A and B are shown apart, each in its own frame.
Chain A
């Protein structure tokens, strides 16, 4: 059974550019969550999508957005990149809307470097 797949694994952008990251959840999983991981702030919740709808959102500026497609695949977008956006972006999927009771399975992440 394939795990959570994130692409690209590594990318380098410059300030002001925008980036789109992709996540394919485990087959059958309908919920996708996104987290940002940095050395200073650790792992922080960005948002969760279930059935193509954003269910929860963390405390990030509007430059961070996402969407989910009918096949449960998800993308997140960061516009007008800043140096502080350099991070490992992790996607996680679960069977249903994440209520704590469902297991979250994480992908290996997309490492973004902003120069």
Chain B
């Protein structure tokens, strides 16, 4: 099946630093999504991208839909303690055989005191 390669697997950063993570795929996706999951909760949508090349911001978060439609990245600027959590990328294909979202394995963001 399809797989999304998400990196890095984990990040240890200082408060105030910028964060960058990305996802790559061997397949083309029509939609790229970025979610954050806190302990004991379900994933919460951060940013949705619908067009190749699209750059979208949500506060301190910025994400881009790669021009090849096979990758996406998420940047977080000036990290704060509440940014701690697991970030997931997810891709979706439309058309025949659509099979829900394909998720990356997640990037675990840890902020060091």
Contacts and interface: CB of A to CB of B under 8 A. Distances in A.
B45 interface: yes
A92 interface: yes
Interface in A57-115: 57-59, 90, 92, 98-101, 103-109
Which A-B residue pairs are the 5 nearest by beta carbons? A106-B42, A45-B100, A100-B31, A100-B92, A43-B103
Interface of A: 4, 33, 35, 42-48, 56-59, 90, 92, 98-101, 103-109
Given A43-B88, A100-B92, A108 B100 contact: no
Contact of A108 (B42, B48, B105): B42
Name the prevailing secondary structure of the B interface residues.
loop
Given A56-B98, A56-B99, A100-B31, A108 B104 contact: no
Contact of B31 (A43, A44, A101): A101
A99 B98 contact: yes
Contacts of A33: 100-101
A47 B44 CA distance: 19
Given A99-B94, A100-B30, A103-B45, A42 B103 contact: yes
B100 A56 contact: yes
A58 B94 contact: no
